């Protein structure tokens, strides 16, 4: 019985494929997140107060039961065997996230800290990445990031430098005309980050000719800022995919 | 006679190249879509009412004739031989799209549902992708997407997480000052999606310092959101092109 | 003498490197384009009328002399030998561009068509791409584009489809509230192209909840629209670079 | 003693890893840059005048001491041995940057030129790129850029051409209606650079139908402008990573 439950509950218990139990739980997590998102809209809560109240309770019961089940079958996982297996499981990363995601149900709607804790529920969305084939894809993407962490850090460093240089220039050129938007480097950073990431809100734009000239150069540099990490990631993923193919052919 | 028509009408009947018939039809589809687009502009319809009326009828006759022709030669395709071949063809995907695209001609201009059906006409544009060499390119792109579907799904999952986290933060920080734009997570999502995709309309922007700080982080995360799928696709296409070259050299 | 001039004037006469003559001409072309750009600003012309007048005449004389020189040495190029070599040169692409770029000097400042002809001067900027090592890089990039023209066309086709679908949806959802911006599909296309290319001016944005929902989906689709051609180009360039390295090792 | 200091101070003295001294200095550089950024915000300086005054002095003493230490151990570096080693070190690039970064401390807050000199402090951030493993990553990225400099220059040339062509068209089409924004090509360039880089502030947008049509084409061309250098960089990095792997396997 417990072995059968373990097969259904623990995603690492299966060599491949996803159990129906985990599929349903992932679906419920997505629905719970959606409801938590909609619940912040006061007009909806006023329209359907009973629905949200019931949904909160229902999800609390389901997820609490799921949590107990996971604690119950934990010792069957080789990582959590032995006398203190269950306690060690309680302090594992995923169990803590699950626990943290249960807390906001108890504090529902009372104060602001409850909202912060609800963010924990979002982390459970990542649980989907542990299902079946996703584990391989997840490991490959993570490996590609790790293999090129120095290159990515350098491109982040260059981005930081560009942010500081462009906001300093715009501060020097536009501070007089627009003290609210460019009156200091931290203020000019808001414009700078919007331009270099090519978001470009347009709530703040330079007005002087010199300011526009440097802003244009910043915008062009922004292309490089997007192109460099994209290029590094593309090459890193290409490497990782080739290595995977090599392993398949070798195995 | 029917065999000659089949050669001209069915793109899969030829080993390579495109028949004049299919080239003309694809050109007419593009023109029909263009006219359907222009027809929604009332000032144009008021200026040239006869032109649009005639064009609608002309295209209906041409496409209806084309459809009948395709049904007539269908049994020569190995997929639709036998007694019920023509009926099976009528229920194939491309025949249904063609039929759906004929409907709005009959309901022209009367009500809103006619507009929705006109969208079917757009799908016929995809027919171009079935011509000659496009079939290979189409299959290769589709294969690359399919081979890396888990990696792409993970990057979509991360995007979803970033959307939810950033809109929750902005909701917590900006709800007081701008209840219309950030009064709830669903409302903040509008800003969040515009920022993470680097569109950046600028109709809604954070006003507090803390809000701008998190918005800046969101904008930087947006670069990652663009870079990751681009990198995955680049590596996947690179893989697919290499495999294709390998097959050519092997064959 | 003519042979020595030919070596200096014709970039294809040298196995590698760039002659001083062509370097100077390219520099002058860039300066002439810069002056033509500044000349459109009336306040500058009013301030320095003599400068612009003299510059126009100087550049006309220099470029006319350069053109005559190129015609003079043309027959030494194997492509333009024989009796009608010079005449054939006059009708070659680059000679026509050069001639077209000389015309606006004669029509300077008189009317609007002169401005259109000045665009020809911009085309001469491309001449830089014919210098020395650029020829190889140019050929490689062109080859990569050509090798994947079907894949790029398919991604353009999908982009067209997305443009039409998203503008149709926004037209259906927002036409009532904002007839000026979304009153027809061609009008909605302006918003649609700004969103799908992730430019996002923000002069027009949907106001209804349903409109914002579809606009969000459009913005996310915009990422794909950027990612797909970028991925195809990255893979195509990767292929081209590898082929080049293979040729070097083989040669 | 001096040899031990040299090991700690000179990053090139170690085969791998980073000395504690250099880690601390890099951390201090980042903090000094952060404080220099915050110091431009007058409201902060008014609130904590003593803090910024002390921080300036503290950083000046620390960085001056660091500079003296580097000069002291310079002759142990094989590049700066001999009688005039220290003087040659003083005129090396990194020493000049360090010296330039010390100057603004002496001129603090007095006039505008002090701000420009403070930019030198930003350059010291690049020092981080010289630490340990970063040196390899830095060299690899630089090598990839260098190997494809002609391709990148061509894509910059095409970008320049697109900028000029699109701003000329918009100038011709929109100058009448919006003389402030499109009254000359240099003015139209501001819109053009914002559109082609997909930043899209939206402070200036075309109003005529023809202007919007060409603006849409410009926006689509902007995708190519982003895709081309990204593709070139992705392929160049892919090449560089493969070469690195080849060297590792061969070594």
Nearest chain B residue to C164 by CA distance is B122
Specify the DSSP class assigned to residue B55. H
Work out the percent of chain A whose per-residue pLDDT is above 90: 31
d(CA A204, CA A188): 9
Whether chain B has a CB inside 8 Å of the CB on C244: the answer is: no
Average pLDDT over residues C235-247: 87
Handedness of CA B152, B158, B160, B163 (dihedral sign): negative
Residues 128-187 of B with CB under 8 A from D: none
Please say whether the beta carbons of D150 and D232 come within 8 A.
no
Give the A:B interface size as CB pairs under 8 Å.
128
Positive or negative torsion for Cα B18, B19, B25, B27:
positive
Does residue A80 contact residue A86 with C-beta atoms inside 8 Å? yes
pLDDT digits (tens, 9 = 90+) for C60-73: 899 899 999 988 88
- Quote the minimal CA–CA distance from A228 to chain D in Å: 7
Nearest-angstrom CA–CA distance, D213 and D219: 10
Instruction: Report which of residues C144 and B14 the model is more confident about.
Output: C144
Residues of chain C with C-beta less than 8 angstroms from the C-beta of D195 = 199
pLDDT on residue D235: 94
Q: CA–CA separation, D239 vs C36, rounded Å?
A: 41
The answer to whether residue D138 is domain-embedded is no
| A210: contact with D, CB 8 A cutoff | no
Tell me if C139 is assigned to some domain.
no
Calculate how close chain B gets to D224, using CA atoms only, in Å.
14
**Burial class for B59, CB neighbours closer than 10 Å (0-12, 13-18, 19+):** buried
Is there a contact between B40 and C185 (Cβ–Cβ < 8 Å)? yes
Sort out which chain C residues have CB atoms less than 8 A from D236's CB and list them.
241
Q: Which of A79, A99, A131 is the last residue of a domain?
A: A131
User: Residue B178 — left, alpha, or beta (φ > 0 → left; ψ -120 to 50 → alpha)?
Assistant: beta
Q: Which of C200, C230, C234 sits opposite A200 (nearest CB)?
A: C200
Q: Does C241 contact chain A (CB < 8 Å)?
A: no
Q: Give a three-class secondary structure readout of D168-193.
A: HHHHHHHCCCCHHHHCCHHHHHHHHH
Q: Over range D58-67, report the average pLDDT.
A: 89
* Chain C touched by D224 (CB under 8 Å): yes
User: Is position A138 within any domain?
Assistant: no
pLDDT for residue A170: 92
Tell me how far apart the alpha carbons of residues A203 and A205 are, in angstroms, rounded to a whole number: 7
| B200-204 average pLDDT score | 91
> Is D137 contained in some domain?
no
> Is D107 part of any domain?
yes
Asked if D197 has any chain A CB less than 8 Å from its own CB, the reply is: yes
Same domain, D107 and D200: no
Cβ of D154 within 8 Å of Cβ of C140? The answer is: no
Residues A122 and A10 both lie in one domain: yes
Instruction: Provide the shortest C-alpha distance from residue D119 to chain C (in Å).
Output: 30
Q: What is the pLDDT of residue C132?
A: 67
Report pLDDT for B8: 81
Please name the residues in contact with D47: beta carbons below 8 A apart, sequence gap of 6 or more.
Answer: none
Select the residue of A160, A185, A219 nearest D125 (Cβ to Cβ). Answer: A160
B26 and B118 both lie in a single domain: yes
Q: Does A240 touch chain B (CB under 8 A)?
A: yes
Task: Say how many domains are in chain B.
Answer: 2
Instruction: Return the pLDDT at A79.
Output: 82
Q: Rounded distance, CA A190 to CA A213, Å?
A: 18
Tell me the shortest Cα–Cα distance from D10 to chain B, in angstroms: 34
- Within 10 angstroms of residue C143's Cβ, the number of other Cβ atoms is 16
The pLDDT score that the predictor gives to residue D132 is 66
Where does the pLDDT of residue D134 fall: very low under 50, low under 70, confident under 90, or very high at 90 and above? Answer: confident
One domain, residues A89 and A174? no
Same domain, yes or no: D78 and D118: yes
The answer to whether residue C138 is domain-embedded is no
Which chain C residues are Cβ-neighbours of B201 within 8 angstroms?
Answer: 200-202, 205
Residue C211 pLDDT exceeds 80: yes
Same-domain status, C128 and C7 = yes
pLDDT of res. B170: 92
The distance from CA D25 to its chain's CA centroid, rounded to whole angstroms, is: 19
pLDDT in tens, B218-250: 999 999 989 999 999 999 999 998 888 777 776
Q: Which pLDDT band, with edges at 50, 70 and 90, does B76 fall under? A: confident
Judge: A140–B151 Cβ closer than 8 Å, yes or no.
yes
CA distances in angstroms from C152 to A40, A112, A233, C227, listed in the order given: 43, 50, 21, 12
Judged by CB atoms closer than 8 Å, whether chains meet at D232 and C230 is answered as: no
**What does the pLDDT look like over A71-86, one tens digit per residue?**
888 888 888 887 888 8
Residues from chain B contacting residue A113 (CB–CB below 8 Å) = none
Helix (H, G, I), strand (E, B) or coil at D64: helix
- Report d(CA D244, CA D232) in Å as an integer: 18
* Position C1 confidence tier, pLDDT thresholds 50, 70, 90: confident
SS3 of A132, please? Answer: coil
Does position D110 have pLDDT exceeding 80, yes or no? no
Q: At residue C81, does pLDDT exceed 90?
A: no
- Specify whether D90 is located in the same domain as D151: no
Q: What is the CATH number of the domain that holds A100?
A: 1.20.120
Residues A87 and A126 in one domain: yes
The pLDDT score that the predictor gives to residue D6 is 82
DSSP state of B75: G
Mean pLDDT within B199-203: 92
Contact (CB, 8 A) for A101 and A123: yes
Q: Is D200 on the interface with B (CB under 8 A)?
A: yes
Residue D67 lies in a domain: yes
**Which residue stretches of chain C are H helix?**
2-9, 20-39, 42-47, 49-73, 85-90, 93-106, 112-123, 134-147, 149-174, 179-182, 185-196, 209-250
What is d(CA B237, CA B2) in angstroms, rounded to the nearest whole number?
A: 40
Residue A198 is nearest to which of D112, D119, D199, comparing CB atoms?
D199
Residues B112, B73 share a domain: yes
Q: How many residues would you count in chain D?
A: 251
D34 in contact with A at a CB cutoff of 8 Å? no
Pick from A66, A57, A54: nearest CA to A27: A66
Clarify whether residues D14 and D110 are in a common domain: yes
Q: Is residue D21 part of a domain?
A: yes
Q: At which of A64, A99, A131 does a domain end?
A: A131
- The answer to whether A30 and A125 are in contact (CB under 8 A) is yes
Say yes or no to pLDDT of D125 above 90: no
pLDDT at D222: 93
Mean pLDDT across the stretch B82-100?
85
- Looking at residue A221, what is its pLDDT? 94
Chain B touching partners, 3 or more CB pairs below 8 A:
A, C, D
Selected residue of D161, D163, D196, D232 to mutate for chain C interface (largest C Cβ count, 10 A)? D232
Of A118-127, B166-175, B184-193, C209-218, where does mean pLDDT reach its minimum?
Answer: A118-127
From start to end of chain B, where are the E strands? none
Q: Which residue has the tokens 């934990």?
A: A74
Mean pLDDT for all residues in chain A: 85
Q: How far is CA C160 from the centre of its chain?
A: 22
Residues D169 and D229 in one domain: yes
- Position A98 pLDDT exceeds 70: yes
pLDDT of amino acid C230: 95
User: Which DSSP symbol is given to B129?
Assistant: G
Q: Is A153 in the same domain as A107?
A: no
Query: For residue range C151-160, what is the model confidence (pLDDT) as tens digits?
Result: 999 999 899 9
Higher pLDDT, A119 or D93: D93
Range of the domain at D50: 2-132
- pLDDT value at residue C187: 93
* Better pLDDT: D101 or D34: D34
Confidence bin at C111 (pLDDT 50/70/90):
low
**Residue of C149, C185, C189, C231 to mutate for B, most B C-beta atoms under 10 A:** C231
**Lowest-pLDDT range, A49-63, C10-24, D143-157?**
C10-24
3-class secondary structure, A208 = coil
From B81, B110, B132, give the residue that closes a domain: B132
| CATH number of the CATH domain containing C158 | 1.10.287.70
Pair C218, C242: CB distance under 8 Å: no
Residue B118, min C-alpha distance to chain D (Å): 24
ipTM rounded to 2 decimals: 0.87
* Highest mean pLDDT: which range of A112-116, B40-44, D112-116, D206-210: D206-210
């Amino acid at each position: 019985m417990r072995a059968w439950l373990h097969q259904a509950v623990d995603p690492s218990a299966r060599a491949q494929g996803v159990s129906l139990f985990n599929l349903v739980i992932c679906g419920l997590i997505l629905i719970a997140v959606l409801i938590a998102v909609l619940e912040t809209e006061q007009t909806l809560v006023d329209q359907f107060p009973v629905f949200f109240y019931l949904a909160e309770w229902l999800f609390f019961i389901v997820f609490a039961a799921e949590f107990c089940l996971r604690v119950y079958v934990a010792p069957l996982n080789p990582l959590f065997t032995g006398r203190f297996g269950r306690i060690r499981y309680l302090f594992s990363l995923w169990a803590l996230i699950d626990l943290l995601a249960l807390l906001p149900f108890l504090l529902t709607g009372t104060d602001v800290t409850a909202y912060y804790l609800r963010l924990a529920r979002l982390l459970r969305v990542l649980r989907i990445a542990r299902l079946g084939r996703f584990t391989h894809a997840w490991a490959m993407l993570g490996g590609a990031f790790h293999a090129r962490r120095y290159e990515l850090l350098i491109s982040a460093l260059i981005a930081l430098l560009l942010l500081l240089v462009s906001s300093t220039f715009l501060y020097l050129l536009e501070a007089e005309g627009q003290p609210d938007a460019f009156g200091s480097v931290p203020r000019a950073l808001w414009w700078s980050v919007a331009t270099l990431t090519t978001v470009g809100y347009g709530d703040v734009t330079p007005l002087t000719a010199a300011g526009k000239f440097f802003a244009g150069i910043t915008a062009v540099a922004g292309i490089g800022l997007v192109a460099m990490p994209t290029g590094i990631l593309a090459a890193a993923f290409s490497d990782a995919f080739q290595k995977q193919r090599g392993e398949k052919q070798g195995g």
